Chain A
Amino acid sequence: MTEMVVAEPLWKIRLKLWVRSFKTGWELFKEKKLALFGLGVIIFFAIFGLLYPLYPMIMRNLFWKDDPFGYQTFMPYDPIIGFDPDIVSHPSPPSLRHPLGTDPLGRDILSMIMYSTPREFVLGITAALITVIIGTIIGASAAYYGGVIDTFFMRLADIVMLFPSLALLMVLSAFMELTLFRLALIMGILAGFGSITLVLKAQALTVKVRPFIDAAKSTGASDAYIIFRHIIPNILPLSFLYMMFNVTGAIFTEAVLSFLGLANIRMSWGVIIQMAESSGYLMGASIGTYWWLWLPAGVCITLLCSSFYFLGRGLEEIVNPRLRKR
């Protein structure tokens, strides 16, 4: 027997393995046109949101060159306090000055949408991350320890699942001002103790019975070590997948709460539509006339939600071999 001497340090091998699995995953992913589309839309929105600071500057140089004082006074491209005094009546239809028109208060819709985009990302991803972290740890520990811990968390999940989440958030909105971050936190925690623990526990159970867990145990690994180094890495792909679906859910819930006027968020896509609704522009025949008040924001919500869902579905086919083509 010749002894193999591996000269490379361990982290380099890990990195290589990681790159290789990423490459094979990407090969599979590339075939999913819908998932690619979703990724494209997400990247588009990310760039779109990051470009927001440029937009008022460009508009100022184009239309407000002669009137710097008026620009400073009215800040026509500010998403919250902006107002355009040169237009006779608001809401005004799309024009060169305001590519998506203005709302009843005279604010520029495009700047409102651009300003909200990074906030939607932050909200969705924060909520989903919290959900997934809680769900993964609980799922893994419930599967590993079994017994009382398992029963406790599964019954807890049953109770959490009984609550209609939207109705519960509505009640919670009476307790506190649901700012963006608080809303993300609450949604994340509520979802984290819910159905995701059931799914991840089922997955962790299949990992728990594999031989390497016994091997780790026999070498004297502690429970925490086994859970964090052996079980969680193996259910991480599935958690990541559920994160995508949770981003969709979080953005949708925020939009609905804002739309019903129950969240305390200064500006978001839902708030834009709520503005149109509460000032009476969504009644009867005026719906079509004032389309720019609700259509762009609604389309943005739909597109971002569905693109995360597409991405999730694409990843699902990679993570879950049952759904692979051959």
Chain B
Amino acid sequence: MLKFLGKRVLQIVILLFIYVTVVYWLIEAMPGSFVDQYLLNPKLTPEIRENLKRQFGFDKPAHIRYLIYMKNFLTLDLGISFSYFPTKVTTIIAERLPRTVFLFVTSTLVSYVLGYSLGKRAAWKRSGILDKTTTFVGIVFWTIFLPLLAIFNIWLFGVILKILPLNQFIDPNLWKTAPLSAQTIFIRLLLTALVFLIVFLIALLISNRLKTIPAKKTMLYTSSITTIVVSIVIWILSGYSIYAWDIIKHMVLPVLTLTLYSFAGSMLVMRDTMLDVIREDYITTAKAKGLPDNVVRDKHAARNALLPLVTNFVISLGFTVGGGIITETMFSWPGIGRAYLEALNTQDTPLLIGLLVFTGIFVLIAHLVADVLYAVLDPRIRY
């Protein structure tokens, strides 16, 4: 295992360097540059031109700039953004990343829970009503034109029902007098969600040790409900609850859209592996023992079909960073995808390279985690 990990990490490092090089030269080769819009001004004197070029680093030849970039990259410095001068690219990413990650982790989690429960039921009663309808609806949503779904959701919930805000991250009128920045509140919300997740996982671990089913259920439910109630009470007492609520309200539509769009992916994977597992002999044995149908389905079949779903989950988390372009544009959500589109339009080379490189690192780490998880979850797999 350790040997495999070492080999894999080495591969990843080599891959990353090739990737960074390709990305750098690709973006570098793009026609035009950020300074061009200033240099085109005929009133500038030659000294000012030289100055401008030097300040943006365009006075050195491209290969020297590449070497400088790689040197900085080794110290985890992705340079300074042009359009947000003098903010560092890493600062911009650090500001935008939580929004994208929160959006996508929530929707991915929901869609995987949905896909898991629908997929196992669909496979259990193959060619039944549920199987046919979920497959049909799922594939239609899976291949739907994402902007269409977003427009439709905005129209339905924002215009007709008027229960949710149309787009944006916050409501500016409310935040005019806010004592804290939206980012701070958002990070605190994120921490709350993290605490809840940890409590839930611990409760899950403890309840696995408990003997009877009612004890397991009470353990799980009481712990999660207490955490929710306690965190809500803390939020209300802190006085920032209206701001937090505002952010949550703005998050519902993008999360709903993404969930609808992506649940079929996990559902189809679950259904196909489940169909494979159902044929195994131990399922027949379990049925022959006279176990209830849903126990065989949930405990014997679904558990063993879970493996591809888990690795799929990790890998799809890796793609969140790149996948947000459409959703974030449609809902004016200021995340990584929007930043990418803006950087492309303004030719903000360092930000563009930084975002692509960061996405690559994210995907590579996700793949590594998926490999490790595979070995941990399936004892048959030895590296």
A residues in contact (CB < 8 Å) with B: 33-34, 155, 158-159, 161-164, 166-167, 170-171, 174-175, 248, 252, 255-256, 259-260, 273, 282, 284-285, 287-288, 294-295, 298-299, 301-302, 305-306, 308-310, 313, 322-323, 325
Provide the residues of chain A in CB contact with B352, threshold 8 Å: 171
19 residue pairs bridging A and B, Cβ less than 8 Å apart: A34-B135, A162-B15, A162-B364, A163-B360, A164-B319, A167-B322, A170-B325, A170-B340, A171-B30, A252-B145, A256-B145, A256-B147, A256-B326, A288-B155, A294-B148, A294-B151, A295-B148, A306-B139, A309-B143
> Is B159 an interface residue, CB under 8 A from the partner?
yes
B272 touches A323 (CB 8 A): yes
**Min CB distance, A243 to chain B, in Å?**
15
CA distance A288 to B15 in the complex (A): 48
Q: Return the chain A residue nearest B15 by Cβ.
A: A158
- Besides A167-B356, A252-B145, 6 other A-B contacts (C-beta < 8 A): A164-B322, A167-B322, A288-B155, A298-B145, A298-B151, A308-B143
> Is B341 an interface residue, CB under 8 A from the partner?
yes
Q: Return the chain A residue nearest B272 by Cβ.
A: A323
Provide the residues of chain A in CB contact with B142, threshold 8 Å: 306, 309
**Min CB distance, B2 to chain A, in Å?**
22
**Min CB distance, B381 to chain A, in Å?**
16
CA distance A302 to B321 in the complex (A): 24
**Min CB distance, B364 to chain A, in Å?**
7
**Min CB distance, B325 to chain A, in Å?**
6
| A174-B31 contact given A164-B323, A309-B142, A310-B139, CB 8 Å threshold | yes
Provide the residues of chain B in CB contact with A301, threshold 8 Å: 145, 148
Provide the residues of chain B in CB contact with A308, threshold 8 Å: 143
Q: Return the chain A residue nearest B326 by Cβ.
A: A256
| Residue in B127, B135, B147, B344 whose beta carbon sits within 8 Å of that of A259 in the complex | B147
Provide the residues of chain B in CB contact with A288, threshold 8 Å: 155, 159-160
**Min CB distance, A85 to chain B, in Å?**
30
B143 touches A252 (CB 8 A): yes
A171 touches B344 (CB 8 A): yes
> Is B93 an interface residue, CB under 8 A from the partner?
no
CA distance A161 to B15 in the complex (A): 11
> Is B54 an interface residue, CB under 8 A from the partner?
no
A305 touches B143 (CB 8 A): yes
B residues in contact (CB < 8 Å) with A: 15, 18-19, 22, 26-27, 29-31, 126-127, 132, 135-136, 139-140, 142-148, 151, 154-155, 158-160, 166, 268, 272, 275-276, 319, 321-323, 325-326, 329, 340-341, 344, 352, 356, 359-360, 363-364
| A306-B144 contact given A162-B19, A164-B359, CB 8 Å threshold | yes
CA distance A174 to B321 in the complex (A): 21
**Min CB distance, B271 to chain A, in Å?**
10
A166 touches B322 (CB 8 A): yes
Q: Return the chain B residue nearest A326 by Cβ.
A: B279
**Min CB distance, B145 to chain A, in Å?**
4
CA distance A287 to B153 in the complex (A): 11
A284 touches B159 (CB 8 A): yes
Q: Return the chain A residue nearest B352 by Cβ.
A: A171
Provide the residues of chain A in CB contact with B321, threshold 8 Å: 164
A287 touches B151 (CB 8 A): yes
CA distance A313 to B143 in the complex (A): 13
B31 touches A287 (CB 8 A): no
**Min CB distance, B227 to chain A, in Å?**
35
> Which of B143, B160, B326 has the most chain A CB atoms inside 10 A of its CB?
B143
A302 touches B145 (CB 8 A): yes
Provide the residues of chain B in CB contact with A273, threshold 8 Å: 145, 147-148
Q: Return the chain B residue nearest A324 by Cβ.
A: B275
| Residue in B27, B132, B326, B329 whose beta carbon sits within 8 Å of that of A33 in the complex | B132
CA distance A75 to B272 in the complex (A): 52
CA distance A298 to B18 in the complex (A): 39
Provide the residues of chain B in CB contact with A310, threshold 8 Å: 139
Provide the residues of chain A in CB contact with B166, threshold 8 Å: 284
A162 touches B143 (CB 8 A): no
Q: Return the chain A residue nearest B347 by Cβ.
A: A174
CA distance A322 to B158 in the complex (A): 45
Q: Return the chain B residue nearest A174 by Cβ.
A: B30
Question: Which 3 A-B pairs rank lowest in CB-CB distance, beginning with the nearest?
Answer: A164-B322, A298-B148, A305-B143
